[in-house]
Structure formats: C-alpha cells, structure tokens
Amino acid sequence: MSASYKTPVQPRALATEQKFLDTVNLLMQDKSLGLLTIDEIAAKAGLTRSAFLKRFGTKNQALLVLYGRYCTEVEAAMAAVSDDIDSFADAHEACFRVSVLAQELQTAHFSAIRAMHELFMENLNVHHQTHAIFLQCSDLMRQIQKVHVPTGTDMGAHAAAQLVFTITGNHVLKAMPGLPREEKDRHTLTAALVSRALLH
C-alpha cells in the first residue's frame, strides 16, 4: 500500500471507495490494468476523476486495495485449514482442500490476480503481500508435514506452497489448458503433486 493511502472511515467515503473498487474489478475482467484509464473507471462508476485520484492516487493503488482483500481472505482460509489439520486422513486430503480453497479464492478475485500477474511480468518483482501469503502457505505445509509427513523438509514445504499457488493460479488465468477439466480430477492431480513435494 502507498504511504499516502488511508482506509476510509466515514460512510460516504467508504461507499465511494467501494463503488470505485467494484468498477475496477468489473472492468479488469475483460481489460488489462495497463489499458484501463482512470477516466474510464470514473465514468463507469458514475463518479469523477478527481474523486478517484483523491481516494487512491493511482490505478495501482486501487489494485493493491483489491489485492489486499484477496490476501486477507487467503490468510483466513489457511488459518482455518491449519485448525483442521488433525481431521484430514492424510497429506493428500489436506492438500486437496488447500487446492480447492486456492482456486475458489483466485476465481473470486480474478481481476486482482490477473492484474498482479501483469505487474509481475512487467518487472519480475514479487509484491510483499504475495511473499507474505507464500510464507504463510509454506508454514501451513510444514504443519501438514508435521502431522502426516514427519520426514518432510523445509524445501519440500516451500516447493508444495509454490506448486499449489502456481497450478491453481495458472488454471484460473487459463494458462494451463492441459489440466483435467473436471474439478475433482484437477484437484486430485494437484494434491498428488503437492503432497509428493512434501516428501522432499
């Protein structure tokens, strides 16, 4: 987040921010962030360019607010899986659940995922929020190892975290058409790869 960005408190400011964010989210379903203009966002939202600039300053800042919401939901989902680790029959079952949750959240936040991927491809720089949820996922994989794969290593946990986000993310971005079309088959394959990585 930009140091100048402040989360709104007043109901009117909250409503304005939400309207802009909903509009950015909608427009980025079919258009890249780079091609989207602030004037276009403001017009679609029925608000003004100056209101957008006052609220966010830049398109990237609006994206980071959207992406931050995705990251918050990812963190909550991983915490829930962590609380249920003992209930899974084995590592494969736990990894299957993680795969399902990852895809659901990436699909729900498609616009933010797509735009962040575009920014990464421009400068090959991993955003600190992406790094933070990756580390949390690595910690979750270590917990799965502790219960179900006691011989696993940190390298295996990191590889597993990388696999689950990469596979589900690329599927959501339609970049892996060779994956099984059926949801269950796709998550079964992903879970097999991720749980195998935990062995290393």
* Residues of the chain scoring pLDDT < 50: none
Does an H or E element contain 109, and which?
A: none
Residues of the chain with CATH 1.10.10.60: 11-59
Tokens of 53: 């600039």
With both helix axes pointing from N to C terminus, report the angle between 11-27 and 59-83 in degrees, rounded to the nearest 10.
90
The pair phi, psi for residue 161, each rounded to 5°, is -60, -45
CA distances from residue 126 to 10, 122, 129 in whole angstroms, order as listed:
33, 11, 8
Looking from the CA of 52 toward its CB, the CA atoms found within 13 Å total 25
- Whether the model clears a pTM of 0.85, i.e. scores above it, the answer is yes
- Alpha-carbon distance 123 to 38, whole Å? 22
pLDDT at 1: 57
Please check whether the domain covering 64-197 is classified as CATH 1.10.357: yes
Distance CA 151, CA 167 (A): 24
Task: Please report the pLDDT score of residue 41 as a whole number.
Answer: 97
* Domain ranges in the chain with CATH number 1.10.357: 64-197
CATH number belonging to the domain at 11-59, selected among 3.40.1350.10, 1.20.120.80, 1.10.10.60, 2.40.440.10: 1.10.10.60
Q: What pLDDT is stored for residue 5 in this prediction?
A: 77
Q: Note the pLDDT tens digit of each residue in 134-182.
A: 999 999 999 999 999 999 999 999 999 999 999 999 999 999 999 999 9
Q: State the pLDDT at residue 7.
A: 85
Any alpha helices (H) in the chain, and if so which ranges?
11-27, 38-45, 49-55, 59-83, 91-108, 110-123, 128-148, 154-172, 183-197
Q: What is the DSSP letter of 69?
A: H
Predicted pLDDT of residue 2: 53
Q: Which amino acid appears at position 135 of this protein? A: L
- The terminus-to-terminus CA distance of the chain in angstroms comes to 36
